[in-house]
Chain A
């Protein structure tokens, strides 16, 4: 089977081009339907999706919630602070507790790399990684790929520069694995303090100069720089960061004339990206990324729930 046949989606690393294409094709169909007045499908009717978020998130959680609701699933949101997590319950105990309530899909975000994989080993439902530490954020990688594919018609052969705090970025890692698998040429642009050590072994090239890094690129993907990186001494100040690594129109001129700009959000305007570019509808894909996010998450929720049902020998699709 060349389509996506796994029960979980924990990362983009190790996925085949056929598996990625399968998810993107399905998501693309949902993207079209999402633009029509009737957005609701019955395919996950009767299923339960739990959003378990150990990190604050509005955008990703809302996107997953909307995706699940458009597929008619029942959705529960659990956020730390409001749950037993704050009372000291371990990750594995929480997993066991939720598992006993028979959810079909757990969508999990956690501040530690590897946490979602660990949790997936302790439950018998499907698990979707909504971001684990600095490790992976696979639905972001997929939605970025879908956004690019819709605008450029392909992924293979494109030059994509991922710029900014790649060291601490799960978005960067998921994009690296996915885009290199799909045949894109990926470059990282960052000061040495914010670069992934040994990044070359991931099949990417590394630049420490923004203009040189985005030269001749089709896609310029900017990453969010987090405030705590300043206090950590990775960069001296936002002022200095913007001067050398922030994207403005002058630097963007180094990329291809039709180069498009992306950002996973939320943006720090004037730190990593100039408002002038972020709001330029001809160059910025930022809002389209958000739109594709819902479509990709619908495709992923449907696919892992189907795979779970097939694994359990339960009816799926027309039979239900």
Chain B
């Protein structure tokens, strides 16, 4: 795609930039691919004469979202999702940067696959894609991957994706080695020997006759890892925390001053294990949906800052993988297109300000992964989302843009809808009704 030139003034917007604390009515001027200026002074009247003026009609204008945990399924499982289909879903959801997990086929554990993903994403030309690389070779959990070389070729952090690094010895070496470079290790915190079940352990699993996954699987892995973090001095990030006890464990670790961060995904602060109902496989997630007391603690952890980020944990599964018995069905739910609306739920249910909620999906993941995005600051890339925070819409999985339709929010109503998404100064998604209607 050709680089865009010229000026665009987005005026009459509620500017929201968590990176700077800006929350004011005003406008934003882009010049070519970058932000030239932002603030209350930018209006239709003050815009440069040669600028195209876009009236935001009072809607919110924020940095494009950074979704720090996405499975793109390409290469290897293109029947479930591709970089192109995920990107279309992402821009419809206001996501301008995705960070993808390495559990593809082949695994992202060498620079050739890192290059492949980057090249495919450039070719699609929508959402920016940064890859995680495998923390261990082949995601086998046995030998530390070439994390120095992988970082040089563009990997932003290291993780075994949907699997925990189970061996304490390997984790100890991985953290020690990564600490020598200052690289970030992202863990799926789940003790594998306690994680053989299908849903959260408890009364509902007992009633349905499904094997339970104990919440202790998450605490035990977190407690173990944090001890190793303490002795190695590594940077450690726990993905998709789901239990009340996990929040308490991470709060204590942060209190000790460890370089520890964590994220959660919207299902864990919106839904509970009740969503499984009578064997509903769209509610089969990893980690599993937990109890209401866990959900409330996750929301509280987001409110008090213990949980730094919200990521969609986008896990596309085709119909054949979900139209099975609960035990046989694959884990995971899609979420990149619903990330913004689901995160805005925190402003209603958990008392977060608009800026605090948006920080979880913009500046916080960007800073953690050292990405040049997630802010409205001048001279950064013009990656923007314009949205109506009050617009409610029924989620109909079949109309979502991902190739796979396994949304845990199917048949629910979310509030907050994207009117326009801008990447590098170019409008890549426009909702006609919200923009012109």
Binding site for B on A (CB under 8 A): 13, 90-92, 110, 112-115, 117-118, 132-136, 167, 170, 173, 196-199, 201-202
B263 shortest CB reach to chain A, Å: 28
B201 close to A (CB within 8 Å)? yes
Contacts of A92 in B (CB 8 A): 323-324
A198 and B209 in contact (CB under 8 A), knowing A90-B324, A114-B325?
no
Contacts of B209 in A (CB 8 A): 113, 132-136, 170, 173
Contacts of A136 in B (CB 8 A): 209
Task: Let me know if A197 and B201 touch, CB within 8 A.
Answer: yes
B132 close to A (CB within 8 Å)? no
Task: Let me know if A118 and B279 touch, CB within 8 A.
Answer: yes
Can you spell out 21 A-B residue pairs with CB atoms less than 8 angstroms apart?
A90-B323, A92-B323, A110-B325, A112-B328, A113-B326, A114-B208, A114-B279, A114-B326, A115-B325, A117-B278, A117-B279, A132-B209, A133-B209, A167-B206, A197-B202, A197-B203, A198-B204, A198-B207, A201-B206, A201-B207, A202-B206
Q: How far is the CA of A113 from the CA of B324 in the complex (A)?
A: 11
Contacts of B320 in A (CB 8 A): 90
Task: Let me know if A112 and B205 touch, CB within 8 A.
Answer: no
Contacts of A90 in B (CB 8 A): 320, 323-324
Task: Let me know if A113 and B208 touch, CB within 8 A.
Answer: yes
Contacts of A198 in B (CB 8 A): 202-204, 206-207
Q: How far is the CA of A90 from the CA of B210 in the complex (A)?
A: 20
Contacts of A134 in B (CB 8 A): 209-210
CB < 8 Å neighbour of A202 from B205, B207, B325: B207
B212 close to A (CB within 8 Å)? yes
A92 shortest CB reach to chain B, Å: 6
Please give me the 8 A-B residue pairs with the lowest Cβ-Cβ distance, nearest first: A198-B203, A134-B209, A114-B279, A112-B325, A135-B209, A113-B209, A196-B206, A201-B203
B79 close to A (CB within 8 Å)? no
CB < 8 Å neighbour of A197 from B206, B323, B327: B206
Other than A90-B320, A133-B210, A198-B202, give 14 A-B pairs with Cβ distance below 8 A: A90-B324, A112-B325, A112-B328, A114-B279, A114-B325, A117-B278, A133-B209, A134-B209, A170-B209, A196-B207, A197-B206, A201-B203, A201-B206, A202-B206
Q: How far is the CA of A155 from the CA of B21 in the complex (A)?
A: 67
Q: Which B residue's beta carbon lies closest to that of A198?
A: B203
Q: How far is the CA of A117 from the CA of B280 in the complex (A)?
A: 11
- Chain B residues 312 to 345 lying within 8 A of chain A, measured CB to CB, are 320, 323-328
B186 shortest CB reach to chain A, Å: 31
Contacts of A170 in B (CB 8 A): 209
Contacts of B205 in A (CB 8 A): 197
Contacts of B203 in A (CB 8 A): 197-199, 201-202
A41 shortest CB reach to chain B, Å: 34
Q: Which B residue's beta carbon lies closest to that of A13?
A: B207
A161 shortest CB reach to chain B, Å: 18
Q: How far is the CA of A313 from the CA of B207 in the complex (A)?
A: 36
A52 shortest CB reach to chain B, Å: 14
A119 shortest CB reach to chain B, Å: 9
Chain B contact residues: helix, strand, loop or mixed: loop
Task: Let me know if B207 and A173 touch, CB within 8 A.
Answer: yes
A112 and B207 in contact (CB under 8 A), knowing A90-B320, A117-B279, A198-B202?
no
B425 shortest CB reach to chain A, Å: 48
Q: How far is the CA of A204 from the CA of B207 in the complex (A)?
A: 12
Q: Which B residue's beta carbon lies closest to that of A166?
A: B206
B48 shortest CB reach to chain A, Å: 60
- Chain B residues 242 to 293 lying within 8 A of chain A, measured CB to CB, are 278-279
Q: How far is the CA of A134 from the CA of B206 in the complex (A)?
A: 9
Task: Let me know if B208 and A91 touch, CB within 8 A.
Answer: no
Contacts of A110 in B (CB 8 A): 325
Contacts of A173 in B (CB 8 A): 207, 209
Contacts of A135 in B (CB 8 A): 208-210
CB < 8 Å neighbour of A91 from B201, B207, B324: B324
B97 shortest CB reach to chain A, Å: 38
Q: How far is the CA of A203 from the CA of B207 in the complex (A)?
A: 11
Contacts of A112 in B (CB 8 A): 325-328
Q: Which B residue's beta carbon lies closest to that of A112?
A: B325
B22 shortest CB reach to chain A, Å: 48
Q: How far is the CA of A90 from the CA of B320 in the complex (A)?
A: 9
Task: Let me know if B206 and A113 touch, CB within 8 A.
Answer: no
Contacts of B323 in A (CB 8 A): 90, 92
A108 shortest CB reach to chain B, Å: 12
Q: How far is the CA of A133 from the CA of B326 in the complex (A)?
A: 11
Contacts of B208 in A (CB 8 A): 113-114, 135
Task: Let me know if A113 and B201 touch, CB within 8 A.
Answer: no
A178 shortest CB reach to chain B, Å: 14
Task: Let me know if B206 and A199 touch, CB within 8 A.
Answer: yes
Contacts of A91 in B (CB 8 A): 324-325
B288 shortest CB reach to chain A, Å: 13
Q: How far is the CA of A252 from the CA of B126 in the complex (A)?
A: 73
Q: Which A residue's beta carbon lies closest to that of B200?
A: A197
A13 shortest CB reach to chain B, Å: 8
Considering residues B202, B206, B210, which has the most beta carbons from chain A within 10 angstroms of its beta carbon? B206
Contacts of B212 in A (CB 8 A): 197
- Chain B residues 192 to 245 lying within 8 A of chain A, measured CB to CB, are 201-210, 212
Q: How far is the CA of A270 from the CA of B325 in the complex (A)?
A: 35
Q: Which B residue's beta carbon lies closest to that of A135?
A: B209
Q: How far is the CA of A198 from the CA of B210 in the complex (A)?
A: 13
Q: How far is the CA of A30 from the CA of B278 in the complex (A)?
A: 33
Considering residues B201, B210, B325, which has the most beta carbons from chain A within 10 angstroms of its beta carbon? B325
A113 and B210 in contact (CB under 8 A), knowing A90-B324, A91-B324, A118-B279?
yes
B246 shortest CB reach to chain A, Å: 20
Contacts of B206 in A (CB 8 A): 167, 196-199, 201-202
Q: Which A residue's beta carbon lies closest to that of B203?
A: A198
Task: Let me know if A113 and B325 touch, CB within 8 A.
Answer: yes
Contacts of A114 in B (CB 8 A): 208, 210, 278-279, 325-327
Q: Which B residue's beta carbon lies closest to that of A132?
A: B209
CB < 8 Å neighbour of B327 from A13, A113, A117: A113
Q: How far is the CA of A198 from the CA of B200 in the complex (A)?
A: 12
Q: How far is the CA of A75 from the CA of B207 in the complex (A)?
A: 32
